[in-house]
Structure 1
């Protein structure tokens, strides 16, 4: 029994001694590392922080220069982001070199990291490539009013990986660039003018010739309408409760919503004055005779 306790005590003592030796060795190694590389690491951290601040300053300077130049607004944010990330990559390489990382090791590490990032962030790389595609082929630009995936708004920024669109309800929608390329995009600002299309319902007892003449008079007299001599006005169909008259007019794209509002008001006032009925959906019931 005594011998057994003695052996257990020796085993515990050996484990404690080994742990103390490992800890002492670790502390000694850390001490040597700090003495040999500590200053280099501190210098690398300071260098990276200063470089990061300089990179942000460079991006602001580039944005200011682009704002004063004739560069297309769509490319300004994209170019400034590219320059910023390029400068940040250089700062990172210099900081790691200052920390004592060998050039060969650094190149191998960046190659492996680049491969890992490329595989893990392939979607983001696709966003960058799609952003370049948008800037080259220009399906839209900053300031254009577009419809994408059922959402409508004004393009505010085309960034390196995504595009910001502000809706009429003052909401910001962020579209990944790769999604934009694969979506159907309706650009309402592609031309200087837009067509306003109306369908007016009138009752079956309406004199259609007089109604069409009245609509032509209203649209021709309106200042928003640009194609006064080429208005498209015709009977479109005969529905269950009304006759539908179609009107198409060309207006300045910037004044589209103002023109639409004004023309609806003017047509309603003209219909009321002329006694033209705008019917509601109705059902006529005939009672059978006995």
Structure 2
């Protein structure tokens, strides 16, 4: 019974020693979470005063910052608690590399969509000719620029194509 009593005593001591670190880790995470929530609310107030064409871009940036702060806060909180996060960080780095490589076409279309929304080389209602297709711009999102072609057809042109090919823009009258 002495071995079992010693084990329980050691467990109690180590738990008591870990409580301040666990508490501090939760506080660190909550600080990052509060910062992310405050940033998101301020951005949403600002977004209502912006040009409607720029809102999706600012919304994407806001979501990226929010989730980035929550992730960094979680990892920092775990590190403060005493958890060895070096393997977690290495795993996130390798996972990010693998996902980036696997999704390179989608990411290139996303970045091209962001640049199109940022620089606005054409507007809704303009007639575009790109990669042999001609149509009127009806929608611009992060993946595609949608053109209304002849006979009611819809042409979804990947935004990466918009950057790798020449585009002829005829402004709406």
1:88-237 equivalent positions in 2, closer than 5 A: 88-95=67-74, 102-135=84-117, 138-148=120-130, 149-159=132-142, 162-165=143-146, 167=148, 173-189=155-171
Matched residue SS, 1:68: coil
State the alpha-carbon separation in 1 of the partners of residues 159 and 147 from structure 2.
Answer: 16
Tell me how large the CA RMSD over aligned residues is: 4.0
Q: CA deviation at 1:76?
A: 2.2
Superposed CA deviations along residues 162-195 of structure 1, whole A, max 9, x for unmatched, are 2342527666544321111123323221xx7xxx
> Distance between the aligned counterparts of 1:139 and 1:185, measured in 2?
10
Please give the secondary structure, in 1, of the residue aligned with 2:139: strand
Question: TM-score w.r.t. structure 2 length?
Answer: 0.56
Runs (5+) with no aligned partner, structure 2: 1-14, 16-21
Matched residue pairs, number? 139
- The Cα of 1:77 is off from its aligned counterpart by 1.0
Higher RCO (Cα < 8 Å, 6 or more apart):
2
Distance across 1 between alignment mates of 2:129 and 2:63: 31
C-alpha spacing 1:143/1:85, structure 2 compared with 1 (3 Å): farther
Match of residue 87 from structure 1: 66
How far apart are the structure 2 equivalents of 1:121 and 1:109?
18
* Matched residue SS, 2:60: helix
SS of aligned partner of 2:89: helix
1:124-147 deviation line (CA, Å, top 9, x unaligned): 232233234435654313453433
- TM value normalised by structure 1: 0.37
Larger radius of gyration: 1
Flag the structure with higher helix content.
Answer: 2
